[in-house]
Structure 1
């Protein structure tokens, strides 16, 4: 049985099933293991992780009377919270820009987005190269790329955000910046920021990790467990990025977001352990977008989580980690079941989410392709769950690792090889 407990109740002999926090918050390569080494227990308690999931079928249980939450209880609460998102007041629409890009269908915008991703990746590679050599970063190029990203997200918010997530582990550092920029633009539009503030959010996303140019590549791309010293070096990147961007013509809020995107609402983040309103809105937005793209992306040492599963896990951390209002807006901006999520329908079919349905967070468009009743692939078919005459609905998220479908990305994108 899975139980969520506070770290202070963790003891040797328990089986650690999952940290309640992203793998950026702790130095452990594995997240599931029998806790036998006192040094591992001490290292866990030294992190900013507050809670963990333990599996009592594989290790010791908690002492009677110790506070805990079961998996079923946690899932029921999260489902209730997500179901109520549609009832929340709609944020004011952002003022229309001088030139509004015309809306585009998913198929049409995916091809544009592919070109933008390729160009933006090269621009980020160049910026990181300039930073490693101690040269000034060309902010004009960054501005141009943010304009392209903003226009694409305005035409169709699903396309670029979903495509940028499909990065290879080798391209992670660069494409992560592009993905976070797109997510920031979508979130800014969701909360009603004007055109200038939206582009500033996109800039913060594109440049938030520029300080990783100061981290040795052998540490940044290490495929295994980081030492405590290496973990400290990685955590120095916000300060390094802030230093690299000083003296440029970038707005101060962008620099602040680069410096403080790893701060947490409860004050356990870094580098300055800011709390609540001490953290700027732009930095709080960047924290959400940064973590979402990180945990959904493949890394040399870990496969990314499914998009909808990532939102579920992030929701469990919101009390301590994120601004709850902004997190709710973030979920509304990408959907409860983001594009690429593997889901099970009431009909017994499995499908992958291909596009959101406007105003219907729990009823996206899904390409069904597998029957669990016959245990066979079926001809792919797009089902719009928001249609009034549609009697099917999503009843569960599915773990792609369990099914091992090799073509999930192609099924939702219709692109032969959408990974970078």
Structure 2
């Protein structure tokens, strides 16, 4: 029997079957589990959640004579009630980048926790929790509605150890942004966000020593990695995830326009628009992220290199829309202005070539200067970007803090 009880009635051994509150407000990545640790109850009590659903057929009931808030015999009624209470709180009012960074950091942190757990469960043969994944996509999408660039920028800040999990979150956000730039409908945008989140699901069943190998893969090891799209597709079908867009992107995001990709060596128009989108978003986050075997490239440099791959690897039209969704100088790009000052892009404006830049170093005096934000798109601004700069040539230790305004611990 399913009952809704107050959190103060929770005891060890109860099976929680849902929280009466949005996913971001409760302290766990999952919504269905048995309470086995007193700390779990303490975490619930410390949160804003006041009531939870328990399933007495799978765990302990409330003590005899204790009145629950509500109970139901109807599975359908319960599922709808839980779905309604756990759905993300839709807040899409525009916010500044600085304001959204904090909320985006919380979403990234919880999504990373959820992706790590989802991949671990997939590794153990359990089915994908699509309800949980859908909640993540909605939170990510709403953050990007409030402010287009905050979450995308923060999701790029990942350690090599976090890469497997945060890569999925980043590709989800990039897919949503690209889908909006291509003016696809809301249903497709949701599906593409979910596809981005699950595109590397097959890596959950790859040997860890191959997946995390710091050096170059052997031919045999690369063949194993090349099987991850097919493995991910199979895991979704087995878990009855039948969204055709999700299945297509998971299976085909490593296909290339010239037919040299995998697993089916599709070429040109044989590759769907959705899979071509997946390829662009996957590549961008991969090359801008720190990996066990290499440091990530600067965002602007990454776009320059990707432009060179549109003759046989990436779809040119999709890539052009992708650049428009990020800006020619994405947030975090290190640039030199015509005055000789060095700065980092902190936000986009209405002009792809004229972002907001925070200058902090003078090449003329060869020293740090007080940070100053310059809107290159402003009518009165005489400055312009004269060149991209390679962060490795300068090695500013606080570059990410300069554009995000946040300490590393908050990312």
Which TM-score bucket, shorter chain as reference? 0.7 to 0.9
- Residue number in structure 1 paired with 2:119: 128
Matched, 1:376 2:367: yes
SS at match of 1:246: helix
Q: C-alpha separation between the residues in 2 aligned to 1:141 and 1:367? A: 38
- Residue number in structure 1 paired with 2:144: 153
SS at match of 2:250: helix
Q: CA RMSD in A?
A: 1.1
Q: Contact 2:359 / 2:374 at 8 angstroms: preserved in 1?
A: yes
Q: C-alpha separation between the residues in 2 aligned to 1:197 and 1:153? A: 16
- Residue number in structure 1 paired with 2:356: 365
Q: C-alpha separation between the residues in 2 aligned to 1:401 and 1:394? A: 19
Correspondent of 1:317 among 309, 312, 315: 309
- Residue number in structure 2 paired with 1:341: 333
Q: C-alpha separation between the residues in 2 aligned to 1:153 and 1:242? A: 28
After TM superposition, the score normalised by the length of structure 2 is 0.77
The alpha carbon displacement at 1:418 in A equals: 5.8
Correspondent of 1:220 among 200, 207, 211: 211
Q: Contact 1:176 / 1:294 at 8 angstroms: preserved in 2?
A: yes
Instruction: Please list the CA deviations of residues 377-417 of structure 1 after superposition, one character each: whole Å capped at 9, or x if unmatched.
Output: 00011101000000000010000001010101000000011
Q: C-alpha separation between the residues in 1 aligned to 2:102 and 2:277? A: 28
- Residue number in structure 1 paired with 2:97: 106
Q: C-alpha separation between the residues in 2 aligned to 1:258 and 1:419? A: 31
Correspondent of 1:275 among 267, 270, 286: 267
Instruction: Please list the CA deviations of residues 220-261 of structure 1 after superposition, one character each: whole Å capped at 9, or x if unmatched.
Output: 111112111111111111011001110423402101100000
Q: C-alpha separation between the residues in 1 aligned to 2:241 and 2:277? A: 22
Q: Contact 2:259 / 2:267 at 8 angstroms: preserved in 1?
A: yes
SS at match of 1:317: coil
Instruction: Please list the CA deviations of residues 119-154 of structure 1 after superposition, one character each: whole Å capped at 9, or x if unmatched.
Output: 111111111011100111101000000000100111
Tell me: CA distance 1:179–1:109, structure 2 relative to 1, closer, same or farther (3 Å): same
Q: Contact 2:256 / 2:313 at 8 angstroms: preserved in 1?
A: yes
- Residue number in structure 1 paired with 2:406: 415
The alpha carbon displacement at 1:214 in A equals: 1.2
Instruction: Please list the CA deviations of residues 299-337 of structure 1 after superposition, one character each: whole Å capped at 9, or x if unmatched.
Output: 111000000000000000001011111100000000000
- Residue number in structure 1 paired with 2:246: 254
Tell me: CA distance 1:324–1:261, structure 2 relative to 1, closer, same or farther (3 Å): same
Q: C-alpha separation between the residues in 2 aligned to 1:410 and 1:134? A: 40
Structure 1 stretches (4+) deviating beyond 3 angstroms? none
- Residue number in structure 2 paired with 1:191: 182
The alpha carbon displacement at 1:195 in A equals: 1.3
Q: Contact 1:343 / 1:352 at 8 angstroms: preserved in 2?
A: yes
Q: C-alpha separation between the residues in 2 aligned to 1:286 and 1:153? A: 18
Q: Contact 2:105 / 2:410 at 8 angstroms: preserved in 1?
A: no
Q: Contact 1:409 / 1:418 at 8 angstroms: preserved in 2?
A: no
SS at match of 1:367: strand
Instruction: Please list the CA deviations of residues 74-129 of structure 1 after superposition, one character each: whole Å capped at 9, or x if unmatched.
Output: xxxxxxxxxxxxxxxxxxxxxxxxx7711110001111100000111111111101
Q: Contact 1:166 / 1:419 at 8 angstroms: preserved in 2?
A: no
Q: Contact 1:347 / 1:392 at 8 angstroms: preserved in 2?
A: yes
Unaligned regions of 5+ residues in structure 2, if any? 1-89
Q: C-alpha separation between the residues in 2 aligned to 1:249 and 1:327? A: 28
Q: Contact 1:103 / 1:154 at 8 angstroms: preserved in 2?
A: yes
Q: Contact 1:163 / 1:418 at 8 angstroms: preserved in 2?
A: no
SS at match of 1:169: coil
SS at match of 2:305: helix
Matched, 1:243 2:224: no
- Residue number in structure 2 paired with 1:19: none
Matched, 1:299 2:291: yes
Q: C-alpha separation between the residues in 1 aligned to 2:242 and 2:306? A: 30
Q: C-alpha separation between the residues in 1 aligned to 2:94 and 2:312? A: 37
Q: Contact 2:157 / 2:289 at 8 angstroms: preserved in 1?
A: yes
- Residue number in structure 1 paired with 2:387: 396
The alpha carbon displacement at 1:419 in A equals: 7.3
- Residue number in structure 2 paired with 1:60: none
After TM superposition, the score normalised by the length of structure 1 is 0.75
Q: C-alpha separation between the residues in 2 aligned to 1:376 and 1:398? A: 16
Instruction: Please list the CA deviations of residues 271-306 of structure 1 after superposition, one character each: whole Å capped at 9, or x if unmatched.
Output: 001011111111110000000000000011100000
